[in-house]
Amino acid sequence: MITDAVRTEYERRFALYDTDGDGYLTVQDFTDRARVLTDAAGEPADSPKARALGAGMRHTFEQLAALAQVEATGRLNQEQFVAAFARAGASGSLGQVVGPSIAATVALADADGDGVVSQEDFAAVHRAAGYSAAQAAQAFAALDHDGDGRLLVDALPGAPGE
């Protein structure tokens, strides 16, 4: 059982990922979402960062589809998506499901390629992704385990070098 607040957050994520607005999520929606983020960051579509984000997003969809017992070439409705996320959270596998896409998104935010992402760079990519400034700050704080105000790209689970 998930709380109403968590359900609302998952439903909001569903709407963000449903890029074609048909009420279902497919691997194409996740691939399109990756393209939206890379375009917003000004990253070339064929760059290593863009390819890593695309792969991370496909991985997330495939993992959610498996949790929902749907073919990876199939589609998820909103309830299946919410239930899959809830299952991942309850089983402790949420990091495995979203880790590669989070790591690739953080790497995308590393505009100068120095391996360090500031809260401002992180927030810029997340605002482009449709999150509010408050949501971006909350997500950054969740990843900034030592509270130093920066994220080290290679230190994240699912980072490209891992």
Query: What is the pLDDT at residue 47?
Result: 95
Contacts of 50 (CB under 8 A, 6+ apart): 34, 35, 38, 43, 44, 108
Determine whether domain 4-114 maps to CATH 3.40.50.300. Answer: no
pLDDT of residue 59: 97
Which of 37, 89, 33, 45 shows the shortest CA–CA distance to 63? 89
C-beta separation of 104 from 138 below 8 A:
no
Identify the helix (H) or strand (E) that includes residue 34.
helix 27-40
Q: What is the pTM assigned to this prediction?
A: 0.85
How high is the pLDDT of residue 156? Answer: 64
Q: How far is CA 48 from CA 29, 34, 58, 98, 116, in A?
A: 20, 13, 15, 19, 17
Q: Given this model, what pLDDT does residue 157 score? A: 57
Beta bridge partners of 77: 24
Tell me the pairing of strands 150-152 and 116-118.
Answer: antiparallel
Q: How is the chain split into domains, by residue range?
A: 4-114
Per-residue model confidence (pLDDT) at position 69: 95
Bridge partners (DSSP) of residue 3 are none
The pLDDT assigned to 159 comes to 45
pLDDT for res 160: 46
- pLDDT per 10-residue tile (average), the chain, 162 residues: 89 91 96 90 92 96 96 94 94 91 90 89 83 86 89 68 42
Rounded CA-CA distance 66/84 in Å is 8
The one-character DSSP state at 151 is E
User: What was the pLDDT predicted at 129?
Assistant: 74
Task: Report pLDDT for 162.
Answer: 41
